[in-house]
Chain A
Amino acid sequence: MKIPFSWLKAYVPLTATPAALADDLVRLGHEVESVELPRAAVKGVLVGLITSKIAHPDADKLSLLKIDIGSAEPLAIVCGAANMGEGDKVPVATIGTSLPGGITIKKGAIRGETSCGMCCSEVELGLANESAGLLILPLDAPVGMEVGEYLALEEALFDLSITPNRGDCMSARGIARDLAADAALSFTDVGGKELLLDASIGAPQVVVSEHECPLYMARKIDGITVADSPQWMQSGLILAGMRPVNGVVDVLNYVMLTMGQPMHAFDANSLNGDIAVRSAVAEESFSALDGRVLKLHAGDLVVSDDHGVIALAGIMGSEATAVTDATTTIVLESAFFKPSRISETRRTYAMVSEASMRFERGVDPAMVSIAMQQATALLIELFGGVAGEVTVRGDADSINSGGRVVCSIARIESRLGVEIPVALDDTLVRMGFGIQRAGDSLAVTVPSFRHDVSIAEDLSEEYARIVGFDAIPSLLPPLATSAPAKPDSAIHDAVAGGFLQAVTYAFISAEEQRLFVADDGLDIILENPISDAMSVMRRSVWPGLLNAAKRNLNRQQPGVALVEQGRAYQRTATGHDESSVLAWLMTGEVVSDQWHSSARSADFFDLKGAVETWLSLRGLTGRFIADDTIQGLQPGQSAKILVGRAEAGRIGRIDVDIAASFDIDTPLFVAEINLDLLSDGKQAKFVPLQEFPAVERDLVFLFDKSNAAEAILNAVRSAGGKLLADARIFDLYQGKGVAAGKVSLGVRFSLQNAKRTLTQADSDAASTAIIAAMEKRFGAVLR
């Protein structure tokens, strides 16, 4: 919300500098987004008169303008806007001007036509975040004058972010009241002129049938001549970020911005019959002022006449009943709508207006009538006409706001950690509170506009902001010593193996989900996703890692080794499940070309080794069981991982077609382990170190290829007897000298005894037993 400094000064004799005032506002809880000095920011922007406009010969959407800025020759300017014509006055940024957005205007050529400046909208002038074209200035604007001077941008502009609980501060008046009370300055209300009413102008007939509109006022003003609002008002509205529309709308916006009460005006001649405030009927149609046609829901709060809906209450009026330049009679509306109703409707239709923002936060019931009075007076003063009586439905006092809070002073002090001296009460009294202290008891009456204050804690906040949070001391509470839970080291162990930890989104596309999980109806789908690519909760981390790999390979990274710890989500028979998973991906170079080694690409065993190492760091062992049926993995290079009795994970090479769909042509390996299925590993326990030397023997056999290394080593271990300490495959060879279907495997085993040095006879005996077992079990031949 933008508030010009002068609007605040109209209520309070403020003498502080804008910067000092900003500090006060922050302390009081009104976040200051920025303090702008608009005039300085638009120096060099002049009022220009468009003397001619022709189409650009080479571009459909551009115009060639001649603009008089009071110099001898008119400026030639190429302009892309569409809302201006000959005779219009517009802001012209001349050569050398630096605009608030950071652009500096230079002489240039656009599609071959010279352009000596730029015509500006509110956006370029830094006065608004969006606009529908150039800012068209009133016709009386003097040509050649600094626009900053003409628009009276003399002042500071506070951009405030008002919290949702402070509806009372959604206006210059509300902010001024807070500032005046805080600084103990006088607060002078604006308005309050006596009105001459004409009883012959009938009061509008209004029927309110909804309790969500506890107060509704309407009045007719007849004989009005709608003209532009005066320059000072337009300048103020532009500064505050609103676009001047017509005199009536401008006055109502001005009253809303300064007093906080949103109002609406209907063109009385376009109304048919009585006004009703009621619930909408399902499917009822409403053509809004912004051009949208809505199908309303039953229960929406609307204002209607005999022909249908004329306003979505508190949010937006209808197109058909809007006030135009031709309007001569209006019906003014000032009301209190229930905040929750406005909030819900506004969200349903994604329709935000300055009015809805205020109603949603709750307006001051006491202002409904005062704003009606002030708007009427301003309208008559500016545009003539005569006002009739006000129709009032409901009663400001019936609205449950204000009230009384009784609490203990000690309680407030103990919650804040600071004393609240009696002197602070004066400030609260200036803010409209009534305060009585009796011993430790505090009895506070709350003003009607402070519906955010209803319990002791609310009062403690009021005291806190007056005394200032800086005045509260900084104390460490008595700290409990607790044995901190052991941090989950799963990811720490995983990156120790040389992997980089990735973090990918928990939602993926439905197509990506189907790569690794069949469509079994157990997906959890987002109701309102950002996009299709982020619409389904992942059941595997692999798609996220694949995308990360793709991105890295595209960025010329020769190898990618990623690991992610996150959750996987799915429906279950009884609801849903979030399980904690650890997932790996490896592709491309694991070793790069170096003076000491040549490049090598990742293969299955690189990743298997990483998973085995990770398990061993946790005191666990995994069994890898070949499994050709894992969706998305290449048969023959895929396995399930058993840890204890649990089938805790999967590992394998990504199907080449899937890899290709991610533009990856290097072999891609992935693994995934469900951490929830792992039991606690064995803790490391000391084992005496062996003192007597081990003996090592190598045996090389020819095996049929169908035999698994794991089975062979198990057989070696059992044949080797009690002395066998270790056995492994140290060599694997297929090719020349080895028949097709056969494989040459070198088995290295070691024997050790804790009590003696082994002899030749020991190792001979073991070798003989192993050779015999290999022949018998596998038909293997010693080479």
Chain B
Amino acid sequence: MSEIESLKGQLDSLQTAALVAFAQAEDLSALQQLRVHYLGKKGALTEVLKGVGKLPPAERPVIGQYVNQTKAALTQALELSEAELAVKGKALRIEAERLDITLSGRKQAVGALHPVQQGLDEITAIFAQMGFAVAEGPEIEDEFHNFDALNIPPEHPARAMHDTFFLKDLHSDSGEPMLLRTHTSPVQIRTMKRFLAEHGEPPLAVVAPGRVYRCDYDVTHSPMFHQVEVFKVDRDVSMAHLKGVLQHFLSTYFEKEVGIRLRPHYFPFTEPSAEVDISCVFCAAKGCRICKGSGWIEVLGSGMIHPNVLRSVGIDGDEFSGFAFGLGVERLVMLKKGIPDLRLFFENDVRFLRRMGVSK
């Protein structure tokens, strides 16, 4: 065999072995080693090339071309294997990194507003949007603001209905005994007085949320609860306006068109006075356990502000009129969220608070 044939034979067997090795390479690093082994500076191909020098010069280009072909074949096969291994390697990595995505996520600590706070916020916002200004007042009140100015004189039977908490040895500047306010209505008096001092005369429209206290404690009464007082005084304010505002408020709050019914009632601070019922939100007014079969649920007390109340702050009842109503926040929240028991609000069970904190 001639020298050149022998070299070609070596190159051929090198190529065959290399192609097999490349195809069998398990991963990129094995392939890298093979590249070095066959194509590196001190690799097998270089080794074969050392034999080229022994060839006569005329044959050298022939074998040179042959070597280049072999090199190209090896390089191409190498790249192919690399590409295959890259794909395979990625697939392996993906498989290795596969997660059980049903494991729970890392939860962020999320707080929650108390349902009563949510109710206060929602209610106040509805009235604020209607142009009512938000006002607050003290919880420790005097008899004048809590009773007398609201047309509840000392001997009035309604005064007894209020189950007032009195405070020991605490007196107002004028020497009256102090008490925990039994309703948010005194804010009416304080706000009207302040407003008149600044602006001289109505109109004013106010929403006053707050805590109130009654000496009454059983399954359906809490000695501390929350009310929102709403009132508007202007020229020609009428009972029709009261109905309009109530209808808008109640439908907005309950997020559906509710029917409302006003029933004549008695409150010392309003005349005429009306209890307000809504069509039962649980049974679509068909009659159920919650509405005691009547289809109506009592939600708040309302009326036209009594002229004596207007007079107590210096507003002329002949010129101006107003409506007022006070609503129990816990009651509205219970109705909206289906909370069965008033006591849940004050137990502060974190399971309840978390559950009721769901924003929808």
Contacts and interface: CB of A to CB of B under 8 A. Distances in A.
B117 A534 contact: no
Given A480-B203, A530-B217, A498 B111 contact: yes
Nearest to B111: A495
B192 interface: no
Contacts of A566: 211
B331 interface: no
Nearest to A495: B111
B224 A31 contact: no
Contact of A494 (B111, B173, B223, B248): B111
Contacts of A551: 347-349
A28 B348 CA distance: 42
Given A469-B274, A500-B350, A474 B139 contact: no
Contacts of A164: 157-158, 161, 266
Given A485-B134, A527-B165, A503 B345 contact: yes
Contacts of A506: 139, 180, 211, 213, 224
A601 interface: no
A527 B211 contact: no
Interface stretch (B24-32, B66-74, B77-85, B101-109): B101-109
Contact of A461 (B157, B166, B272, B346): B272
B237 interface: yes
Chain B CB within 10 A, most for which of A458, A501, A528, A551: A501
A344 B307 CA distance: 26
B128 interface: yes
Contacts of A347: 160
Interface string B39-54: 0000000000000000
Interface string A436-460: 0000000000000000100101101
A27 B157 contact: no
Interface stretch (A117-125, A129-137, A219-227, A567-575): A567-575
A473 B203 CA distance: 22
Contacts of A474: 240, 243-244, 247
B351 to A, nearest CB: 7
A505 B348 contact: no
A416 B114 contact: no
A415 interface: yes
A375 to B, nearest CB: 26
A484 B133 contact: yes
Contacts of B265: 29, 31, 163
Interface in B147-180: 155-158, 160-161, 165-170, 172-173, 178, 180
B130 interface: yes
B240 A343 contact: no
A340 B155 contact: yes
A578 B180 CA distance: 12
B346 to A, nearest CB: 6
B160 A458 contact: no
Contacts of B157: 164, 339, 343, 360-361
Nearest to B303: A461
Interface string B313-349: 0000010010000000000000000000000011111
Interface stretch (A68-76, A186-194, A266-274, A557-565): A557-565
Contacts of B133: 482, 484-485
Interface residues of A, number: 93
Nearest to A549: B348
Interface in A575-606: 575-576, 578, 590, 594-597
A356 to B, nearest CB: 10
A341 to B, nearest CB: 8
A464 B239 contact: yes
B306 A457 contact: yes
Nearest to A456: B307
Contacts of B351: 555, 557
A504 interface: yes
Contact of B167 (A415, A527, A595): A527
A455 B353 contact: no
B224 A505 contact: yes
B245 interface: yes
A502 interface: yes
Q: Chain B: interface residue count, which band?
A: 35 or more
A492 to B, nearest CB: 7
A562 B348 contact: yes
A209 B210 CA distance: 48
B61 interface: no
A31 B110 CA distance: 46
Interface in B212-257: 213, 215, 217, 223-224, 232, 234, 236-241, 243-245, 247-248
A96 interface: no
A281 interface: no
B283 interface: no
A499 interface: yes
Contacts of A487: 121, 124-125, 134
Nearest to B304: A415
Contacts of B172: 575
A528 B165 contact: yes
A474 B244 CA distance: 4
Contacts of B129: 484
Nearest to B263: A26
Interface in A323-342: 339-341
Given A527-B166, A527-B168, A576-B178, A469 B223 contact: no
B155 A343 contact: yes
A502 B111 CA distance: 11
A99 to B, nearest CB: 19
A415 B235 CA distance: 10
B78 to A, nearest CB: 41
A475 interface: yes
Contact of A503 (B128, B140, B165, B346): B346
A498 B240 contact: no
A473 B240 contact: yes
Chain A CB within 10 A, most for which of B106, B140, B203, B215: B140
Contacts of B178: 576
A562 B224 CA distance: 19
B346 A504 contact: yes
B271 interface: yes
5 contacts: A411-B318, A472-B239, A526-B168, A555-B349, A566-B211
Interface of B: 103-104, 106, 108-114, 116-117, 121, 124-125, 128-134, 138-140, 155-158, 160-161, 165-170, 172-173, 178, 180, 203, 205, 211, 213, 215, 217, 223-224, 232, 234, 236-241, 243-245, 247-248, 261-266, 271-275, 292, 304, 306-307, 318, 321, 345-351, 353-354, 357
Pairs of residues from A and B, 8 with the lowest C-beta to C-beta distance, nearest first: A417-B240, A498-B109, A29-B264, A340-B155, A417-B238, A495-B111, A163-B266, A461-B272
Given A416-B238, A455-B307, A457-B307, 6 more contacts: A339-B157, A415-B238, A417-B243, A479-B205, A484-B128, A528-B215
